[in-house]
């Protein structure tokens, strides 16, 4: 048996054999023998848009590995900045490499004062932090015009560094602006997660003391969100980046894609759903509405995972640790009951609907006092190194500009009709 497919055009009787490599067949080989015939695949459910060495997903078995390392081991033993290095550069760093990387990220956390005074303070008081973040990330491109030199590896490194360093500062600024509190400058004595908590919560105390359990839980959640192969926002990063747009503009587009409730906005939607259910008694009627197609069980289902999302399992473990500090979320029991029912109901089992990364994440964020509209902002912070890793890989692969085809189903040629005759 050869690892290939043979495609026969029954209109001509001509056949072509195309090898199966890394689980795929080369579209160009197909197009060469079948000109003008396109694969129709809206949502890219059966399409590999690229090859990548960054993240390996096995959806059937619930396996997730970053550069070959299982997510469970990284969540247990690594840190978000070390994982960011691994995603970006392909190997776990030596101590010297990690120290240099952490130093570079730590010392680029400040934002240009014009950005703070004239931009972030310019938003309406009830502006959604994600709308602010999308805009602010794009605006960074105006402060660093050299970012357009995407072929210069040193210039790329500096922008990658700035985006990973500055997004927490922008994220905290968005929150502080929404509650009318003064911005808190970064504290370079704190680690990545601790510094973000300081910029979020510091009030009048001279030095913010982050809770170590909460800071560690946040760091683990950032690891879990760091990459997930060709999801909607990462595909957006690659598509926009393929036009050789600068990394800030590409990351702003990716952030916009993440904003949607079907994608990164689901963690916020889960809490709205749990609040709507409100009590045990309402769970069964809600499940019936989901099965009738009137509602979606947010935080459930996944395009790739047809088993339990391995990240959801780890999030659940972190939730127990957080709740020991913050007290148990009042919505936890409803979430656990929903999961128990869904995992035993044929409607969900037959559709391979399991909890995904967003199902329990929101409960942790809520217990840590993050407002709902900051949840997807936290997802953005976590996913930034993943987006940048794929952006860099796409440039190193020297990929062509993304430009898919279509199946035209509109009218044939017709003649213009003057307004007086319509
Ligand atoms: C993320 O891609 C990634 O990797 C994303 C992500 C990442 O790290 O980047 O993992 C992060 O986005 C996780 C997903 C967060 N979204 C949600 O939790 C929103 C709720 N889930 C869905 O809307 C849905 O499951 C998607 C969007 C996640 C996946 O959608 P698909 O693959 O297009 O699946 P589908 O809509 O074609 O559904 C298949 C069937 C349908 O039923 P039938 O038409 O066959 O009868 O399953 C049903 C759907 O109605 N279905 C659901 C459901 N999700 C799918 N029914 C009820 N509740 C759900 N959540």
How much is the pLDDT for 35? Answer: 87
Q: Do 41 and 128 fall within a single domain? A: no
What's the total number of domains in the chain? 3
In the sheet that holds 55-58, the strands lie side by side as 55-58, 63-66, 69-70
Nearest CA to 342 out of 327, 356, 353 is that of 353
How much is the pLDDT for 105? Answer: 97
Write down which residue in 36, 58, 80 finishes a domain.
58
Active site residue: 302, 309, 373, 390, which one? 302
CA of 261 from ligand 1 middle (Å) equals: 11
Phi, psi of 41 (to 5 degrees): -145, 65
The single-letter DSSP state of residue 8 is: E
How much is the pLDDT for 329? Answer: 87
pLDDT above 90 for 371: yes
Percent of the chain scoring above 90 in pLDDT:
89
Residue 160 lies in a domain: yes
How much is the pLDDT for 375? Answer: 95
How much is the pLDDT for 3? Answer: 94
Residue 407 lies in a domain: no
Q: Do 174 and 221 fall within a single domain? A: yes
Contacts for 37 with CB less than 8 Å, ≥ 6 apart: 31
DSSP sequence for 310-362:
HHHHHHHHHHHHHHHHH---TTHHHHHHHHHHHHT-HHHHHTT--B-THHHHH
pLDDT above 90 for 138: yes
Residue 260 lies in a domain: no
Domain that holds residue 54: 4-58
Interval 57-72 mean pLDDT: 96
Interval 207-233 mean pLDDT: 97
358 among known catalytic residues: yes
CATH number at residue 125: 1.10.580.10
Q: Do 183 and 44 fall within a single domain? A: no
Residue 382 lies in a domain: no
How much is the pLDDT for 125? Answer: 86
Interval 51-69 mean pLDDT: 96
Say how far apart CA 184 and CA 203 lie, in whole Å: 8
DSSP sequence for 266-282:
HHHHHHHHHHHH-SGGG
Say how far apart CA 231 and CA 236 lie, in whole Å: 9
For 241-295, write each residue's pLDDT tens digit.
999 999 999 999 999 999 999 998 889 899 999 999 999 999 999 999 999 999 9
Say how far apart CA 115 and CA 161 lie, in whole Å: 18
Say how far apart CA 292 and CA 309 lie, in whole Å: 25
Q: Do 184 and 166 fall within a single domain? A: yes
Say how far apart CA 226 and CA 221 lie, in whole Å: 9
pLDDT above 90 for 121: no
Say how far apart CA 48 and CA 230 lie, in whole Å: 9
Testing ligand 1's pocket by substitution, the residue of 301, 347, 351 carrying the most ligand atoms inside 8 A of its CB is 301
Q: Do 109 and 128 fall within a single domain? A: yes
58 among known catalytic residues: no
Residue 261 lies in a domain: no
Q: Do 102 and 181 fall within a single domain? A: yes
Q: Do 132 and 224 fall within a single domain? A: yes
CA of 301 from ligand 1 middle (Å) equals: 4
How much is the pLDDT for 115? Answer: 87
- What atom of ligand 1 comes closest to residue 299's alpha carbon? 18
Q: Do 350 and 304 fall within a single domain? A: yes
pLDDT above 90 for 117: no
How much is the pLDDT for 141? Answer: 96
Indicate the burial class of 143 (C-beta count within 10 angstroms; 0-12, 13-18, 19 or more). middle
pLDDT above 90 for 223: yes
How much is the pLDDT for 37? Answer: 92
Q: Do 233 and 178 fall within a single domain? A: yes
Strand 4-9 versus strand 14-21 pairing type: antiparallel
99 among known catalytic residues: no
Report the chain's mean pLDDT, rounded to a whole number: 95
For 330-368, write each residue's pLDDT tens digit.
899 999 999 999 999 999 999 999 999 999 999 999 999
CATH number at residue 338: 1.10.230.10
CA 61, distance to chain mean position in Å, is: 21
How much is the pLDDT for 277? Answer: 95
Phi, psi of 176 (to 5 degrees): -65, -35
Q: Do 43 and 74 fall within a single domain? A: no
Interval 33-49 mean pLDDT: 93
How much is the pLDDT for 75? Answer: 98
Residue 52 lies in a domain: yes
* Lookup result for tokens 């794929």: 390
Contacts for 225 with CB less than 8 Å, ≥ 6 apart: 311, 357, 378, 379, 381, 382, 383, 386
Active site residue: 219, 227, 309, 358, which one? 358
Q: Do 237 and 290 fall within a single domain? A: no
- What atom of ligand 1 comes closest to residue 234's alpha carbon? 9
Say how far apart CA 382 and CA 75 lie, in whole Å: 13
Interval 144-164 mean pLDDT: 97
pTM: 0.94
262 lines ligand 1 (CB under 6 A): yes
pLDDT above 90 for 118: no
Residue 251 lies in a domain: no
How much is the pLDDT for 279? Answer: 93
Q: Do 38 and 184 fall within a single domain? A: no
Residue 396 lies in a domain: no
Length of the chain as a residue count: 422
């Amino acid at each position: 048996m050869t690892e290939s497919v043979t495609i026969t055009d029954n209109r001509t009787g001509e056949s072509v054999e195309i090898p199966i490599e890394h689980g795929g067949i080369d579209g160009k080989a197909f197009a060469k023998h079948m000109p003008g015939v396109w694969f129709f695949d809206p949502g890219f459910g059966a399409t590999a848009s690229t090859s990548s060495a960054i993240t390996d997903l096995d959806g059937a078995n619930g396996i997730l590995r970053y550069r070959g390392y299982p997510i469970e081991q990284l969540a247990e033993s690594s840190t978000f900045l070390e994982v960011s290095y691994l995603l970006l550069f392909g190997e776990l760093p030596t101590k010297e490499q990690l120290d240099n990387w952490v130093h570079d990220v730590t010392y680029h956390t400040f934002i240009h004062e014009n950005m703070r005074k004239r931009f972030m303070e310019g938003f309406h008081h009830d502006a959604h932090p994600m709308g602010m973040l999308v805009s602010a990330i794009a605006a960074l491109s105006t402060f660093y015009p050299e970012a357009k030199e995407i072929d210069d590896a040193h210039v790329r490194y500096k922008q990658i560094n700035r985006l990973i360093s500055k997004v927490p500062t922008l994220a905290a600024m968005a929150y502080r602006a929404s509650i009318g509190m003064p911005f808190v400058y970064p504290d370079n004595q704190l680690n990545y997660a601790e510094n973000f908590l300081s910029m979020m919560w510091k009030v009048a105390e001279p030095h913010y003391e982050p809770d170590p359990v909460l800071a560690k839980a946040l760091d683990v959640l950032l690891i879990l969100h760091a990459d997930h192969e060709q999801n909607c926002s990462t595909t957006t990063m690659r598509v926009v980046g393929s036009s050789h747009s600068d990394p800030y503009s590409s990351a702003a587009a990716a952030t916009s894609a993440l904003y949607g409730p079907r994608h990164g906005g689901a963690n916020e939607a889960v809490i709205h759903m749990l609040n709507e259910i409100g009590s045990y008694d309402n769970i069964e009627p809600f499940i019936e509405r989901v099965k009738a197609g009137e509602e979606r069980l947010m935080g459930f289902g996944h395009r790739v995972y047809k088993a339990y999302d391995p990240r959801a399992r780890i999030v659940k473990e972190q939730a127990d640790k957080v709740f020991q500090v913050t007290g148990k979320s009042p919505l936890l029991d409803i979430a656990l009951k929903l999961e128990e029912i869904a995992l035993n109901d044929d409607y969900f089992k037959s559709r391979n609907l399991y909890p995904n990364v967003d199902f329990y994440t929101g409960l942790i964020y809520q217990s840590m006092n993050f407002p709902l509209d900051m949840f997807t902002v936290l997802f953005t912070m976590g996913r930034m190194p993943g987006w940048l890793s794929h952006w860099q890989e796409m440039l190193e692969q020297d990929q062509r500009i993304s430009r898919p085809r279509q199946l035209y189903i509109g009218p044939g040629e017709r003649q213009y009709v003057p307004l007086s005759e319509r």
